[in-house]
Structure 1
Amino acid sequence: MPALTFSKWSPGGNTTLLFPDSGQRPAEQTRLAALALDPAMLGGEQAGFVHLAQGKLRMAGGEFCVNASRAVGALLAYTAQSAGPEQGVLEGMTAGTAQPAGDVHAEYPERTDEIQVSGWNSPVRLRTRGTAPLWQVEALLRLPSYSITTVEEGAQLVRLPGICHLLLGGPVHPLPDDSYAVAAQMRQRHNLENEPAAGVIWWRECQGQLDMLPLVHVRDAGTTFLENACGSGALSLALRLARSGPRRAFSIMQPGGSALDVRLFTENGAEMAGVDGPVSLVARGKIWLPEPEARTRPSQA
């Protein structure tokens, strides 16, 4: 049985498993992640493989994920703030030289890191504040070419590298009784089944407060989750709203109960976006996963 060290994070409720990238092939990463995400194992909404020394994150399905990127920011801060193996985050996931821990409740200065993330074509900058077990992490993204297309009344399709989102605005598209079935129909209707990752997001604004409900399908990982938070979905909604008005800062409430704050700005002539919100450490340890050829042994008489 392969044993993997892991850490489990909650970036705004979007539970994320992070494993060390030890050179597994993408298909093997996908297989291991599917096993670990099973509620009978670790559970979670998504999984990624991290090579901290190289500053790289690959999602199990090769997709792009803002919230998993933000979780890596917290992971980097945790490894830097920890004193050694007992307090370090995980074997195989440490990076650089750990600093003395001191008072675990002491204030640590803001730190900035840069990582490469699957599906995204430029480095993701991470601005991290706080200390274990709760941080505030902003993912700063250089915006690439993207498209926003109205595909039917009240529905816009936002295409970003590594992921696309179909935004369904009320009252034309109220929340359905069976969101999984309706999302599957919408993905099929708009030919999104073969996208690396496709979200269907119901959103509304009530008394000035934006909120959203994201359901995300990742093709290669074979997962479909009604997520408690979606960073790229919040970014897509902000881009769509900014196109129709002067507003450039948005606080979007997520199903998990916390908001993601999205700001759009220009830096050195480049169009940028920041997605900011809480990240908490849920658990860390080791998991033993079954071999692919494992079979249930027949009972002995």
Structure 2
Amino acid sequence: MPSLSFSKWSPSGNTTLLFPAEAVPVAAQADVAGQALQCQVLGGEQAGFHDLKARRLRMSGGEFCVNATRALGALLASGEPAVARELDMDGRPVTPAARDEYQYDVQVSGWQTPVHLRVRGRMPVWQVAADLILPNCPVQQVAPGAVLVRLPGIAHLLLDASHPFPDDYLAASSLLRQEFSLDTLPACGIIWWRQVQQQLEMMPVVHVRDAGTTFLENACGSGSLALGLRHCPAGEQRRLAIRQPGGLLDVHVDRRATEARATVDGPVQLVAQGRLWLPDKNR
């Protein structure tokens, strides 16, 4: 029965499993992720495979994921040496507000340019911001109340309040993926969103093709970015705090310059780490 080490993270509630890439061939990663994400095994909403030395992350379906990338930043910071702190006579830090801060440039599947991560905090809770250089990301109204945003590695169909969240979201998301030809993509999200008293709220359902998973996620970083692009016209900037089932994600989109940029920021918590044993399919 093969085993591999893992860590489980909660970036704003979007539970993420991370495994060392050298332990699982790329061709087997989607299958391993599909098994590990089952609730009777480790559970979670998505999985990725990391090379910490190269600072590289590949999601199980080769898709792009902001929250898993932010979790990678926390994983990198967890391996940093502890910072010595000056204490007062009572053993309290002289500067109690001070926090460890780290910065990393990482590569993630689906995204062509490095993602800059700013990590603040310490074990087991960090605040991690992902700074992105945006390529051309088409924002297209495809039906009344429906906008399709195509990001590298994932696309999101944004449905406003004229489309109530369905009782059977799995069936509804499947039909919508077929209607808008999204099933051929590595990953896609159906985002039901609304504005309540100047607060944006969203419910993300995300499908990863190769892993064969569809989850109502507690948070979606790329979906939040897509919603930010939906609300930020060319030549302008917007700062949005977007509420999702797991809490808030802060999104800043700046499209004033030729090279548009965006930041997605929020908490990341370590949930568990250890070893996973999976059935040996050759037996």
Report whether the alignment pairs 1:117 with 2:108: yes
Q: How does 1:239-278 map to 2 (within 5 A)?
A: 239-243=229-233, 246=236, 248-256=238-246, 258-265=247-254, 270-278=259-267
RMSD, matched Cα: 2.1
Deviations 1:109-129 (A, max 9, x none): 321101000000000110010
Confirm or deny: 8 A CA contact 1:81 1:101 kept in the other structure. no
State which of 130, 136, 147 in structure 2 corresponds to 1:139: 130
The equivalent residue for 1:76 is 76
Confirm or deny: 8 A CA contact 1:10 1:16 kept in the other structure. yes
The equivalent residue for 1:231 is 221
State which of 182, 188, 193 in structure 2 corresponds to 1:192: 182
Deviations 1:95-140 (A, max 9, x none): xxxx67999x974332110100000000011001011111100000
Q: Offset at 1:38?
A: 1.2
The equivalent residue for 2:10 is 10
Q: 1:264 to 1:101 in 2, by over 3 A?
A: same
Q: Offset at 1:146?
A: 1.2
Which secondary structure state, in structure 2, belongs to the residue aligned with residue 70 of structure 1? helix
The equivalent residue for 2:270 is 281
The equivalent residue for 2:90 is none
Rounded Cα–Cα distance in structure 1 between residues aligned with 2:245 and 2:142: 25
Report whether the alignment pairs 1:161 with 2:152: yes
Q: How does 1:207-222 map to 2 (within 5 A)?
A: 207-222=197-212
Confirm or deny: 8 A CA contact 1:234 1:262 kept in the other structure. yes
Confirm or deny: 8 A CA contact 2:233 2:255 kept in the other structure. no
Q: Offset at 1:265?
A: 2.7
Confirm or deny: 8 A CA contact 2:235 2:256 kept in the other structure. no
Deviations 1:168-190 (A, max 9, x none): 001x2111111111111111111
Q: 1:81 to 1:102 in 2, by over 3 A?
A: farther
Q: 1:100 to 1:36 in 2, by over 3 A?
A: farther
Q: How does 1:32-43 map to 2 (within 5 A)?
A: 32-43=32-43
Which secondary structure state, in structure 1, belongs to the residue aligned with residue 183 of structure 2? coil
Equivalent pairs counted in the alignment come to: 275
Confirm or deny: 8 A CA contact 1:216 1:225 kept in the other structure. yes
Q: Offset at 1:81?
A: 3.9
Rounded Cα–Cα distance in structure 2 between residues aligned with 1:151 and 1:244: 19
Deviations 1:132-172 (A, max 9, x none): 111100000000111111110000000000000000001x2
Q: Offset at 1:23?
A: 6.0
Confirm or deny: 8 A CA contact 2:18 2:50 kept in the other structure. yes
Deviations 1:48-99 (A, max 9, x none): 00000001000011000000000001111111045xxxxxxxxxxxxxxxx6
The equivalent residue for 2:29 is 29
The equivalent residue for 1:291 is 280
Gaps of 5+ in 2: 88-92
Q: Offset at 1:271?
A: 1.3
Q: Offset at 1:245?
A: 9.4
Q: Offset at 1:243?
A: 2.2
Percent of residue pairs bearing the same amino acid type: 54
Confirm or deny: 8 A CA contact 2:237 2:256 kept in the other structure. no
Which secondary structure state, in structure 1, belongs to the residue aligned with residue 252 of structure 2? strand
Gaps of 5+ in 1: 83-98, 295-301
Confirm or deny: 8 A CA contact 2:236 2:255 kept in the other structure. no
